Amino acid sequence: MKENLGTDILLAADYLRAGELVAIPTETVYGLAANALNEAAVVKIYAVKNRPQFNPLILHVAGLDQLKPLDLELPPKALELAAKFSPGPLTYVVPSSVKIPGIVTAGTPAVAIRIPAHPMTLELLNQLDFPLAAPSANPSGMVSPTTALHVAQQLGNQVSYILDGGACKVGLESTIISFLGKTPQLLRYGGISLEAIEAVIGPVALPAEGFVDNPVAPGMLARHYATIHPLLLGDANAIIKQAHASNPIPRIASISLYQHFTALPDAYQFQLSPSGDLNEAARKLFSAMRMADEMDIDLIVVERFPEKGLGRAINDRLRRASSAHDILFNTTLNS
């Protein structure tokens, strides 16, 4: 499983030129990369991830200068954000061009573009004469990987090479903002907060209520970031109390910012930041979800995070992780 894991950037570049898949480190999560201009290579991403082909991919480049040969450009407000936050966890959705294969954009007239802030991946991109299409390096809908080992555990030898760049520093996917309309619109909360964006370009439209079936950008589907065990988000004390009133009583693990739940053993509690730091919590979220999921439990209960800063992005991921479980859990308790 680990024989295809290493730090050889030149080898990673050779695999990508040959149309193969390479897992790459970024500051957000690990990506499953292919030559974005090679349709056969991009098809492999969808096949390995079992990803629906109506779900578009993010185009990764090393800098804005790499957009011109692709007939792509960022509008003025996007350029203001790029000057402040790129390289970094911010993705720009702009009109696409005929040079971008439809399989990357899922047939939409828009393309998502990002400059990742990881030295190894930037060096890799600078050695290539094509951009990379790269969703998260995990089976579609499951918890995103934040270490190379996570990728190896989930995808193994389905990937030609896993470029090991250490643990991801942000730990949540990028914020996505669209410039398709007159007013910039946030499509996905992520590693750059709403407050930080509005401090640069002024008010932006917020994400539409609910989830979508025909996304113009990644990470907008209802079921995503799913754990194997049911995960419920909300008032954790109330959920635990309800669960303990059922028969049999489920074994529960909890995830919270810093709360302690007296009804649960300490070993089954994951407090992501005792100091209440939402950046630290975001960095640890996916790893905590994985560790809880590996326990001998029946249920993961998550206390809702503050709706500010990266707390919005954390809650967004957790709502998607819990969306498929709410009805099932309530039906089981009430049956």
Q: Give 8's contacts (C-beta < 8 A, 6+ positions apart).
A: 161, 163
pLDDT reported for residue 333: 44
Residue 226 belongs to some domain of the structure = no
Q: Are residues 30 and 173 in the same domain?
A: yes
Name the residue with tokens 């990742």: 116
Q: Which residues pair with 100 in a beta bridge?
A: none
CA distances from 203 to 93, 184, 192, 312 (A): 17, 8, 15, 17
Q: Are residues 49 and 115 in the same domain?
A: yes
- CATH number of 12's domain: 3.90.870.10
Q: Are residues 67 and 146 in the same domain?
A: yes
CA–CA distance, 221 with 52 (Å, rounded to integer): 10
pLDDT reported for residue 332: 42
pLDDT reported for residue 210: 52
Residue 263 CB neighbour total at 10 angstroms: 12
Per-residue confidence in pLDDT tens, the chain, 335 aa: 467 999 999 999 999 999 999 999 999 999 999 999 999 999 999 999 988 878 899 999 999 999 999 999 999 999 999 999 999 999 999 999 999 999 999 999 999 999 999 999 999 999 999 999 999 999 988 999 999 999 999 998 999 999 999 999 999 999 999 999 999 999 999 999 999 999 999 999 998 765 444 455 565 555 567 889 999 999 999 999 999 998 888 999 999 999 999 999 999 999 999 999 999 999 999 999 999 999 999 999 999 999 999 999 999 999 988 865 554 444 344 43
CA–CA distance, 335 with 333 (Å, rounded to integer): 6
DSSP string of 142-206, one letter each residue:
BPPP-SHHHHHHHHGGGSSEEE---S-SS-SPPEEEE-SSSS-EEEE--SS-HHHHHHHH---BP
Question: Which tokens sit at 36?
Answer: 């974005």
CA distances from 265 to 209, 234, 261, 334 (A): 37, 20, 8, 25
Residue 219 belongs to some domain of the structure = no
Overall domain count for the chain = 2
Q: Are residues 191 and 296 in the same domain?
A: no
Question: Which tokens sit at 301?
Answer: 């209960």
pLDDT reported for residue 328: 44
**Domain encompassing residue 185:** 5-201
Question: Which tokens sit at 229?
Answer: 């065990």
Residue 206 belongs to some domain of the structure = no
Residue 83 belongs to some domain of the structure = yes
pLDDT reported for residue 53: 78
Q: Are residues 96 and 150 in the same domain?
A: yes
Residue 307 belongs to some domain of the structure = yes
Question: Would you give the DSSP letter of residue 225?
Answer: S
pTM surpassing 0.95? no
Q: Are residues 130 and 268 in the same domain?
A: no
